[in-house]
Structure 1
Amino acid sequence: MARILIADDSETITTLLATALQSSGYEVEVATDGNQAYQMGLESEHDLAILDQLMPGLLGLEVIDRWREAGIETPVIILTGVDDERTAVESLDRGAVDFVRKPFRLPELMARIRQRI
């Protein structure tokens, strides 16, 4: 069973994603801020992480940077409310495997997740 880390400060989003992923047979862990996401990534392996770019504590891109410095190569999908091409390009350049803007379509995001696992 694939393990997915979801990190977002929106309880609505984490609940929606966790429910959909668990219903699809994935094991899910949830972090509510960037510091917690970073620690969870250090403490256990995940097949994929879905990180909000604008979280309290560390930003999503900062989590990626620190994981890579620590040798953690977990694939990351960045979720963000920022509709900015520069942010999308920077996310991909810094190691994200995908970039999804909020509001997102759940079936499309689930397809992107399946593609990455």
Structure 2
Amino acid sequence: MRVTKFEDLLVWQKSILLSMEIYRLYINNHDWGFKNQIQRASVSIANNIAEGFDRSSDKEFKRFLFIALGSASEVRSMNYLAAKLMYISTDEYNVCNDHLIEISKMLNGLSRSLNRNEVKYL
């Protein structure tokens, strides 16, 4: 079954949940530059999945998936720094990191499926 809208992609749904978690974690953080960057990078994951999905070709979609993967890596790096700066607890770090690793694996899998010209998206 072919997915016809990006909202049905599980990786997009998980990316939205991650962004919501990031916003929740940093709602009272007073390091505005850090807070703004991690929030924007987390939103970028879902937005690039959405934008790529609605492009005209699998090649374009794949390009946007790689951008989303880069944003996921940025959030992972910032998540690590947030724990070191004690902006978040170790448990909060672990939860976010687990979600980010899962999202990254899903993005890679979806990209690989486009290489094989499969019509079914995750």
* TM-score of the superposed pair, with normalisation by structure 1: 0.31
More helix, by proportion = 2
Larger radius of gyration: 2
Higher relative contact order (CA 8 A, sep 6+): 2
More strand, by proportion = 1
